[in-house]
Amino acid sequence: MRRLLLVRHGNTFEDGAPVVRVGSRTDLPLTAKGLAQAATFAAAVRAAGLAVGPFLAGPLARTRMFVTHGFGFEPRLDDRLREIDYGSWEGRTDADIALTAGADTLEAWNRRCVWPEGQGWSPDPGTLEAGAATLVRELAAGDARLVPVLCSSQGILRYFAKLDATWFAAAAADGKLGVATGSCCGIVVDGASVRVAFWNRKPDAATLRDF
């Protein structure tokens, strides 16, 4: 059995600034709040007494900085954790996207992970699912005494949740697939089985200790 700890990077927009959709083409750094979220996550991991490693992140600044600021060293970069290219949605607010792509299309993605057709997104969902599955299999073969930490965006993290089909279907039906900035998720790999242990939790020692 292997436990994996997933975390969404911290804030990239200052308080009060317009929030737009950013993916793999927009390489924003963490804000001061985002750096504080990284420190909070790392402190919770240490307080829980978890033996963590390896540390993996997508190649963009916000995911690299989250690990580096929290734990003091550079993560191993893995392109399977690269954020989605949001095509025509990139750099636009949700209100603007709803006017052109349709509010139902926007809600379907935000709440249920339904891929919007014709919006120029890449890579395709099959590639994202395969990337998550192969990365999980590779990490599951490592030292079970260690808990790998993977930092990416919430869009990518959803494809790890998809590996637990039963949990994913229920969460999608309830619109509970989102992951807040700086929040974490835990999955357990046991042979060919993948189970979501917890999802979208603010990092605290109690949650991580019980994982």
Task: Tell me the three state secondary structure of residue 85.
Answer: strand
Residue 119: helix, strand or coil by DSSP? coil
Query: Domain residues of the chain, as ranges?
Result: 2-86+124-209
CATH 3.40.1710.10 fits 2-86+124-209, yes or no: no
Q: What is the pLDDT of residue 187?
A: 98
- Residues 25-56 have pLDDT tens digits of 999 999 999 999 999 999 999 999 999 999 99
Q: Tell me the HSE value of 199 on the side-chain side, using a 13 A CA sphere.
A: 20
pLDDT at 29: 98
Strands 193-201 and 52-57 come out as: unpaired
Segments in the chain below pLDDT 50: none
**76-77/147-152 β-pairing:** unpaired
Residue-level pLDDT at 180: 98
Cα–Cα dist 172/70, whole Å: 31
Contact status, residue 183 vs residue 8, Cβ threshold 8 Å: yes
Q: What pLDDT is recorded for position 156?
A: 98
pLDDT at 202: 97
pLDDT of residue 47: 97
pLDDT (0 to 100) of residue 92: 98
pLDDT at 140: 96
User: What pLDDT does residue 199 have?
Assistant: 98
**What local confidence, expressed as pLDDT, does residue 171 receive?**
98
For 1, residues 6+ apart whose C-beta sits below 8 A from its C-beta are: 144, 188, 189, 190
pLDDT at 138: 97
pLDDT of residue 102: 97
The 3-state DSSP class for residue 92 equals coil
